[in-house]
A and B are shown apart, each in its own frame.
Chain A
Amino acid sequence: MRISMSRRYKRFSASRVFALSTRVLKQFTRDRRTLGMIIIFPIMFMLVFGVVLSGEVKHVPIRIEVADTGVTNPFTNETVNIGEDILDSLVANDRVEVELASYSESIDMVEAAEIEAAVLIPENFTQDLTSTGNATIKVYYDGTKPQLKASVFTALTEAFKDLSKGGIDFEEIQAFGVGELSGFDVGIPAVMGYILTFLILLLSVLTAIREDVNHTKTRLYTTPITPVERILGYVIALSLFAMVETTIVIAIAIYVFGATVHGNIYLLFGAGLLYGISHIFLAFLLSNFAKNELQSVQMAILIAIPSLALSGMLIPIFTFPEYLKWVAAFVPLTYGIRTFEGIMLRGWGLAELWFEFTVISVLTVVFFVLALLSSSDISSD
């Protein structure tokens, strides 16, 4: 049969384009795991981000002490207490969740990051305001979360407006003795945590899956090396990589962008490394369920993207619905961010961060054991 020249040398053929695109689609339909992820990923990501982002920053926990004794009109015998009025207005405002407590106790709670602000309305508040037209409220606040700080000060300002009282000033004291934190300062610990999560997961799963891709897995499995030795061998090598990653991330944060580190820099490095190692084990756990590079990358994405929403990186966790708070408690990045923020912004050490370090260490062991249990040097299919 003769093939016409025009058919052989067509410069553009829709048929060839179509042949290629149908082949690609066919391949996707044969890879059921990928196909599942194509459908599940957008559903899951949209639901997670949708629920998280729809939460408003409300009910920010604060403690208030109203020491104001008010002023009694000698003629009418009526007592005016503007401090109490401000308290009533704050209680009615859903931006904040107000509880009464002594100012000194409340300061301790701010420093333990249990509440956002401690407010003191002083003894002569009403008297000063009525006699001089000026009075001051003391606000001791945790400035590491700008959204929360903004909610507290907006609620206070709204309280003054409700009372149509001007001349009220704030004496703002930022906790941890760290002075004013810039937007970059407060954002960088979370960004560091996220970069470490994503990069270490991705590179570790790709490294693990290379044994399959190069067909060296079969040969490796016939040698005396045990699954424990295999995983530890990889983890030691990849830990060096995690060290490099951690060093680069911290160095750029500090030296390029001038990020503040109020705590111990070696502790910060150690925390980054421990967090990185936990994710190497997690990557090995995931890679045991991947059959090719595409699937392993998908698994890394499956962890990394929802972590962005669920770790409180975008919106504080206390704004989440109750069931999502439970999910957030199982997201490693939640503890990574808390640790990095604690060291960098609050100047905390192991005494304050023992819980976060314990959780990350426990997760590391759990991921290792699960990776080991799901790893086998004999295949069933």
Chain B
Amino acid sequence: MSEYVIETKELVKHYNKGAVKAVNGIDLRVRKGEIYAFIGANGSGKSTTIDMISGTLRPTSGEIYVLGLKLPKDRRRLSNRIGIAPQEYAVYLDLTVWENISFFGRLYGLSRKEIREQGEKLISILKLEEKRDVVAEFLSGGMKRRLSIAIALIHQPELILFDEATVGVDPILRAYFWDFFKSLRDDGKTILVTSHVMDEAEKADRIGLMRHGKLIEEGSPSELLSKYNVRNVEELFLLLSGDENINE
């Protein structure tokens, strides 16, 4: 059995009969129990890769193995073991916080007791107690993001995909989210985070830099900073992207 929780081989996704090469041959390997940050400019192919890894988007070519299952063939078997917080909030705006959490808990086959225990725990960790019975439409952006994360975790998945989870979130909450991600990792979960905010990537165990649908560099933040002799990931990103970054 592979040591990797996520393994892709020559993963390709083209749109419009090849005119748009969103993902262009990625070999990605994410180990069990690590936080892997996928970073890159907007449109670099991060979300497309996440969609393929979550089994909701069919690749043009290449292979994907997630938790030992081949995708997209085995995506149904994967569904109970993976949690996803998409880039958009993806919550039911006319349901309350608790109704959203409870609905997804039922889809994952949890008992009422399990939903209550795990749901209350997540509500407490993500500080949603006061908003428990508030209809999601009336939540702030940060609150909606917390709810989205709570839904992704209700069934205690082994692998969690956070697609731009910290977008539109204030620095205090962002720091809180990262502490939370680390606590999940310490519990043995594997986390794949995408972000275009470079400074937060340094908090990950390993980072992968994406550009033009390709993984251009990969390693732990400290390894990469010393390899390229830069002070932070933002400098690294600018160095590796060059002037082209602005055109992406």
Contacts and interface: CB of A to CB of B under 8 A. Distances in A.
A378 B75 contact: yes
Interface residues of A, number: 17
Contacts of B109: 224
A234 interface: no
B55 interface: yes
A218 B79 CA distance: 12
Interface string B44-85: 000000010011111000000000000010011001101010
Contact of B151 (A218, A219, A221, A380): A219
Given A218-B56, A379-B57, A224 B80 contact: yes
Interface string A268-302: 00000000000000000000000000000000000
Interface stretch (B33-41, B88-96, B178-186, B215-223): B88-96
Interface residues of B, number: 26
Contacts of A220: 107
Contacts of B88: 215
A216 B86 CA distance: 9
B76 A224 contact: yes
A145 to B, nearest CB: 46
B58 A222 contact: no
A380 B104 CA distance: 25
A218 B72 CA distance: 14
A118 B109 CA distance: 65
Contacts of B108: 223-224
Interface string A129-154: 00000000000000000000000000
B56 A225 contact: no
A153 to B, nearest CB: 57
Where chain B touches its partner, the secondary structure class is loop
A214 interface: yes
A365 to B, nearest CB: 25
Given A222-B55, A224-B76, A215 B89 contact: yes
A218 B47 CA distance: 12
Nearest to B87: A215
B54 A222 contact: yes
Contacts of B90: 214-216, 218-219
Interface of B: 15, 51, 54-58, 72, 75-76, 79-80, 82, 84, 86, 88-93, 104, 107-109, 151
Given A219-B90, A225-B107, 12 more contacts: A214-B93, A215-B86, A218-B56, A219-B84, A219-B86, A219-B104, A223-B108, A224-B79, A224-B108, A377-B75, A378-B57, A380-B57
30 contacts: A214-B91, A214-B92, A214-B93, A215-B86, A215-B88, A215-B89, A216-B90, A218-B51, A218-B54, A218-B84, A218-B90, A219-B84, A219-B86, A219-B104, A220-B107, A222-B54, A222-B55, A222-B82, A223-B79, A224-B79, A224-B107, A224-B108, A225-B107, A378-B56, A378-B57, A378-B58, A378-B72, A379-B51, A379-B57, A380-B58
